[in-house]
Structure 1
Amino acid sequence: MDSDGCALRFGILGTLEASVRGEAVDLGPVKQRTVLGLLLCRVNQVVPVAVLRDTLWPDEAPSSARKNLQGYVSTLRRILRVGPAGTGPLRHQPPGYLLRLRPEQLDALSFLELAQAGVAAARGGDTAAAAGMLGRAIGMWRGPVLCDLLDAPAVADDRERLHERYLTTFETWMEARLALGEHRELGGPIDDMVRRHPFRERLRHAQMLTLYRCGRQTEALAQYDALRQVLARELGLPPSPVLTRLYESILAGDPGLEPPPPSSAVTVAGSLPRDVDDFTGRAAAVESLVRELDASGPGQVVVVGGPVGAGKTALVVHCAHRLAGRFPDGRMFVGLRAQDGTARGVPEVLDAVRREVGGRPARLRDALAGRSVLLVLDDAVGEAQVRAVLAATGDAVVAVTSRRRLAGLESVRHRDLEPMPDEEAVLLLTRILGADRVAREPQGARSLAAACGGLPLAIRIAGARLAVLRHLSLSRYAARLADEGRLLDELVAGDLEIRSRLAVWYADLAPGDREWAHRLAALPGSAFSAAQLGGDPVRAEHAVERLFEAHVVRIQPAEVEAHAANGGVCYAVPPVVRAFLRDRPDG
């Protein structure tokens, strides 16, 4: 494989994703994506042309099937070529095609490699290392394998094979963590998995032992009785001897079931919010942030900035869940704003962190010293607030989200989260509304995504509203959203809306910057340069740059080069921001 191969990465543990040098790749129409999905499921194996043909046309292949398939493969070769001309990972090899990748290039291969290493560590007696590696492997899953290609029957066997490996890896991970005495953190994950897989006895064993060690003996016994009844009714079988022995040991209060003595490690309550079930897209951003946090040393900080509704918190939480094994001592989540949107005081924030750390230590730095802990500080108001918290948290790796770029923070890494590209926005809408409804109105879906400005929050609100208003067509709703005077009123679904979040963001602006923001929103058209504001050009340019830092405006990438040649940069006010500013009296 060419030396640039590591620049090419794929994901199938969830939706199909691909990136080249960190940038997400548009993989084209569904049949082309299906070809790639099947090749990835059978990576490093030759997939016969007949198998690909039958997958694409399961009923009856058209006379042009071979030509169409060759066209899909040719396009994929062009898209995925990152080395010198003529090279790439996808090649023809009779009787079909071969996609050759390294483990680090495909999440499924990385998962299998980590899972195998974790099992080997467990068998070798290194339980802590096993728990870490298995946790990292589990964290790589974003959802069911190729969940956006569920209509491809040829992928079903591969999906089932990988899912079974996921379940056995999860069970081994739970057992390793129980052996480390981490039962208090396992109740939620095990209960959720048991609900989905009620007949798996290793999961039931881990659940019963977790309940018993948490002092919930009656519930542990009840789980056994529930399983016994289900097995008898559905399969005509009794529970296994292993599970029966555990039941009898719990009844007898066997001291051998007690957890191991506690270590000196800090105990973290684990306040991380649940991951979003339908987290969509953002492949390059997820890969970059996971890699950044995974490689971070003690006390390192990553700041994720972005406009209101861009999905900053969802991204960081999603990545934190994937890094469970990297941070075995805990992952904490603390909001930096009060319910009314104002900044929480630093003493209040630090007290919230102490509540997450066992024993409420007086000195957080000492309690977290040498520990592998991730602290998420959500929705920071400004640099001073974050700087004061960081001074007290010592060795914890910290991920900060903010509506500002927080350029004044020292020795931190910055990541900006831009609005979703159109194809990802439509995919998110598809996961909310279902493929059939979106397929009936593809242009309406694209128009709706554009009207939402690519903001995941706005798209989720629109999707939730349409899910209730089944009679409302996507095209009609997109037309309503395109009316700027109605936009914010339309983006309401129950108690989910975007106007109040924009109001908090607006309140953070200095009075002078609010005035500049209103002047920008009043300009005609969607793009502008600082020179169009008139007056002192230096003052205008500085004002626009401050608004750029606060995500009031964004740079128009396609226009940058042309305007730079004319001595200026082209900016734009996002649709929801412009609608909010035009609807609000001058600040």
Structure 2
Amino acid sequence: MPSAPKQRQILVLLALHAGRVVTTQTFVEELWGDKPPRSFATTLQTYISQLRAKLAKAAGDASWARRLLSTRHSGYQMDARQCRTDVAEFGHLVQAGRRTAETGDPAATSRLLGDALALWRGPVLVDVPVGRILAADVAALEETRLGVLERRIEADLALRRHADLLGELAMLVMRNPMNENFSALQMTALYRSGRSGRALEEFRRIRAVLRDELGVEPGPRLQQLHRTILAGEPDAEPAWLGS
């Protein structure tokens, strides 16, 4: 990874969008926002040349660096076939996990989505300067991660691992106090673990938060789950939530 901040931004932007052309305008918006320098085109070309030189030095092959990072009519492109990233691997595992969910295989879904989530070792791009474009990419990746996490927990619930999920779900609800899906999953795990009173407490908590912060009631999923727990029905939600 280059040490210069803007070179790091450029490399990450190209890698996240590998296989697609990143336009000059996109680079300008990411690097300088509304205040680009007058010579932004020349400056960007210099950054790209310096980045290619660093890649060539690291690989010992200048021609490979030019193939990896090519110039296009409207910008630059990273060759996806020669650029392996943990983000791309995450995407492949998520797609595989979704396919197994569609076929009704919670064990495979839990394993694949768990492997995908294991690639996350902390906040996205924590050591890279982030402009407008990368900020949007980071937000999208985080939303995807949360969705994948929900799906993995659903698969684990289908495998009757509710007791093992209680600690993880308590932390997720604490960090995402208005996320109705996490609350529903926590209520389900609590109820199946014989803690119906605590499950009802969670419903009252999120109901109060949603009313105070947004002026709305919990959605249909939470409302139905609440009624199910009050009625003491044998199971709180369908056995396979991923289907």
TM-score for the superposition, normalised by structure 2: 0.88
1:86 aligns with 2:68: no
**Equivalent residue number for residue 203 of structure 1:** 182
Q: CA deviation at 1:69?
A: 1.7
Contact 2:192–2:235 (Cα < 8 Å) also in 1: no
**Equivalent residue number for residue 77 of structure 1:** 52
| Matched letter for residue 38 of structure 1 | L
Distance in 1 between residues matched to 2:110 and 2:118, nearest whole Å: 12
Distance in 1 between residues matched to 2:170 and 2:7, nearest whole Å: 38
Contact 1:178–1:259 (Cα < 8 Å) also in 2: no
Contact 1:104–1:110 (Cα < 8 Å) also in 2: no
Contact 1:134–1:173 (Cα < 8 Å) also in 2: yes
After superposition, give the CA deviation of every residue in 1:319-355 in whole Å (9 maximum; x if it has no partner): xxxxxxxxxxxxxxxxxxxxxxxxxxxxxxxxxxxxx
Distance in 2 between residues matched to 1:110 and 1:66, nearest whole Å: 33
Q: CA deviation at 1:104?
A: 7.8
**Equivalent residue number for residue 148 of structure 2:** 169
Distance in 1 between residues matched to 2:113 and 2:103, nearest whole Å: 14
Distance 1:221 1:103, change over 3 A: farther
Distance in 1 between residues matched to 2:161 and 2:83, nearest whole Å: 30
Q: CA deviation at 1:198?
A: 2.1
- 1:54 alignment partner, SS class: helix
Q: 1:251 aligned to 214, 230, 241, which one?
A: 230
Distance 1:182 1:253, change over 3 A: same
Distance in 2 between residues matched to 1:218 and 1:115, nearest whole Å: 35
- 1:43 alignment partner, SS class: coil
**Equivalent residue number for residue 10 of structure 2:** 35
Q: CA deviation at 1:111?
A: 0.7
Distance in 2 between residues matched to 1:117 and 1:243, nearest whole Å: 29
Distance 1:51 1:35, change over 3 A: same
Q: 1:227 aligned to 206, 227, 231, which one?
A: 206
Contact 2:53–2:62 (Cα < 8 Å) also in 1: no
Q: CA deviation at 1:121?
A: 0.3
Contact 1:103–1:113 (Cα < 8 Å) also in 2: no
- 1:87 alignment partner, SS class: helix
User: How do 1:168-567 residues align onto structure 2 when only pairs under 5 Å count?
Assistant: 168-257=147-236
Q: CA deviation at 1:66?
A: 2.5
Percent identical among aligned pairs is 39
Distance 1:175 1:102, change over 3 A: farther
Contact 2:29–2:132 (Cα < 8 Å) also in 1: no
After superposition, give the CA deviation of every residue in 1:563-582 in whole Å (9 maximum; x if it has no partner): xxxxxxxxxxxxxxxxxxxx
Q: Which runs of no fewer than 5 residues in structure 2 stay unpaired?
A: none
- 2:76 alignment partner, SS class: strand
Q: 1:140 aligned to 96, 101, 119, which one?
A: 119
Distance in 2 between residues matched to 1:200 and 1:36, nearest whole Å: 34
| Matched letter for residue 209 of structure 2 | V
Distance 1:178 1:102, change over 3 A: farther
Distance 1:254 1:102, change over 3 A: farther
Q: More helix per residue: 1 or 2?
A: 2
Contact 1:181–1:259 (Cα < 8 Å) also in 2: no
Q: CA deviation at 1:71?
A: 2.1
Q: CA deviation at 1:44?
A: 1.6
| Matched letter for residue 27 of structure 1 | P
Distance in 1 between residues matched to 2:132 and 2:204, nearest whole Å: 37
Contact 2:20–2:77 (Cα < 8 Å) also in 1: yes
Which structure exhibits the higher relative contact order, with contacts defined as CA atoms closer than 8 Å and separated by 6 or more residues? Answer: 2
Contact 1:118–1:131 (Cα < 8 Å) also in 2: yes
| Matched letter for residue 136 of structure 1 | D
Distance in 2 between residues matched to 1:40 and 1:258, nearest whole Å: 41
- Higher-Rg structure is 1
Q: CA deviation at 1:258?
A: 9.1
What is the aligned length?
Answer: 235
Contact 1:44–1:99 (Cα < 8 Å) also in 2: yes
Q: CA deviation at 1:106?
A: 0.8
Contact 1:135–1:173 (Cα < 8 Å) also in 2: yes
Q: CA deviation at 1:259?
A: 10
CA RMSD of superposed structures (Å): 2.2
